[in-house]
Structure 1
Amino acid sequence: MRDIVAEEIRAQIFDGRLGEGERLVERELAEQFGVSRHPVREALRVLQREGLVDSLRSRGLVVSALNRQQVIDLYAIREALESLATREAAKRIAAGAPSTLAETIAEARAAVDAGDIEAAHEANARFHDELVALSGNASLEQMLAPVLGRLHWLFRQVADVSYVVDDHARIADAVIAGDAEWASALAKAHVLAYRAHTMKLLFGEDARVDEGGSVD
């Protein structure tokens, strides 16, 4: 029940029904979902660990808000960890590890063709999760866990999901071919392009990336 409630609250955050800074009251959520307060309390703890919910001294639990610096920081984390994950995933596939990346890409393309944007977003987000899992690096998964919810929210800010699927397909081809360095380079370029789009969308500015990968 905790997981069901967490998924519903997460979906409401992702699609905007629960906006940034909105209070999350256990009693009201329990009534909305027709459950006791215990699974709601546990679900909110899960979402706190994912970074989607904050606990404020003055207001209690609220939907997390992202400022400019936090978005920059999240993308810096994503750039470093996902390029590493992609490189390691390609190495593992070259060594014979199985992969479902191609199936996930096909699912995302089918969703785009059907006009099901939410399903496409879900498949695109799962693609990143599968890359991290495929890396075989448990510590890497643990490092990403506290920011995973916010990253998935950022994934949904790009309106042109077909562009994202095309990028993912190129990365998947390199990973499946076992080309670790090329896969890592494609992953980094994807993150930087995604970051520039997000900065413009959320803050109305162009993100200029210097040679070291930092944002001006």
Structure 2
Amino acid sequence: MKQSSSRLYRNDKPLREIVGDEIRARIFDGRFQPGDRLVERDLAEKFAASRHPVREALRELQREGLVESLPSRGVVVTTLDRRQVVNLFGIREALEVLAVREATEQVAAGAPHDLDRTLAQARAAIEAGDVGAAHEANARFHDEIIVLTGNELLQGILEPLLGRLHWLFRQILDVDVVVQEHERLRDAIVSGDPERAAALARAHVLAYRSHTLAYLFEGDGATEA
């Protein structure tokens, strides 16, 4: 069904960002599956837009790693194998632990933060039965920690990985448990204890690495080595 153009244009964002958000949402919720072709002409018709903002949106999604361009097929939704997921979690562990430590130091020095509001949004989404909104709030929680560091180099390193990391965040079925862990992490950050916060961040990543690998690849016979 064609997307109504009025909905797309009732937004202050540039159209390329709106189209990108729409495609990203479809990748995250499974309407666009790994390996699916994303044809400019078809997407432009779906969203009642010209091909130019669609092309720009696809370029941004390719920078995020959510889509890739294949010589024989054109642009397709990226397929992550077990090794790539393991590597992403390794990168996430290293960089997120660093980010949490630095964010805690910034908060201890008086930096303002929106972690409480984001956690409240996640809680409200769970109570409303909106799992998608809860996933979005949980992803924002991680993003806010990165911004809170004030470390532009770290932000630049993570930027091309964010799409794939956000996709991983949505592979967890029990979002309530995730929020509980985020609340404990928030408490450690605002207490100004960087080592405790870093330890909680590492435990959080490693726990969901195991859950995600089991959810995505259980029974495929692959090993993590």
Task: Name the TM-score, length of structure 2 as normaliser.
Answer: 0.91
Amino acid at match of 2:45: E
> Which residue of the other structure, out of 35, 39, 62, is the alignment partner of 1:48?
62
Unaligned runs of 5+ in 2: 1-14
Q: Map 1:124-163 onto structure 2 (within 5 A).
A: 124-163=138-177
Amino acid at match of 2:204: H
The answer to whether 1:123 aligns with 2:137 is yes
Whole-Å separation in 2 of the counterparts to 1:104 and 1:28:
35
What is the Cα-based RMSD across aligned positions, in Å? 0.8
Amino acid at match of 2:36: E
> Partner residue of 1:60?
74
> Partner residue of 2:4?
none
Offset, 1:73 = 0.5
Whole-Å separation in 1 of the counterparts to 2:92 and 2:134:
20
The percentage of counterpart residues that share the same residue type is 63
Whole-Å separation in 2 of the counterparts to 1:31 and 1:103:
37
> Which residue of the other structure, out of 88, 92, 95, is the alignment partner of 1:78?
92
Unaligned runs of 5+ in 1: 206-214
Offset, 1:110 = 1.3
Q: Map 1:75-114 onto structure 2 (within 5 A).
A: 75-114=89-128
Please give the per-residue CA displacement for 1:39-80, whole angstroms capped at 9, x wherever unaligned: 000000010010000011111100000001000000001000
The answer to whether 1:186 aligns with 2:186 is no
Q: Map 1:12-31 onto structure 2 (within 5 A).
A: 12-31=26-45
Q: Map 1:190-205 onto structure 2 (within 5 A).
A: 190-204=204-218
Please give the per-residue CA displacement for 1:108-158, whole angstroms capped at 9, x wherever unaligned: 111111111111000000000000000111111111111110110110010
Whole-Å separation in 2 of the counterparts to 1:118 and 1:18:
15
Whole-Å separation in 2 of the counterparts to 1:143 and 1:19:
26
Whole-Å separation in 2 of the counterparts to 1:181 and 1:4:
39
Q: Aligned with 1:38: secondary structure?
A: helix
Offset, 1:178 = 1.0
> Which residue of the other structure, out of 168, 171, 182, is the alignment partner of 2:182?
168
Whole-Å separation in 2 of the counterparts to 1:55 and 1:32:
20
Q: Aligned with 2:57: secondary structure?
A: helix
Whole-Å separation in 1 of the counterparts to 2:183 and 2:60:
31
Q: Aligned with 2:161: secondary structure?
A: helix
Which portions of structure 1, spanning 4 or more consecutive aligned residues, are displaced by more than 2 angstroms? none
Amino acid at match of 1:33: F
Task: Name the TM-score, length of structure 1 as normaliser.
Answer: 0.94
> Partner residue of 1:211?
none
Offset, 1:23 = 0.5
Whole-Å separation in 1 of the counterparts to 2:40 and 2:129:
35
Whole-Å separation in 2 of the counterparts to 1:67 and 1:147:
15
Please give the per-residue CA displacement for 1:12-46, whole angstroms capped at 9, x wherever unaligned: 00000000000010000000000100000000001
Whole-Å separation in 2 of the counterparts to 1:86 and 1:100:
14
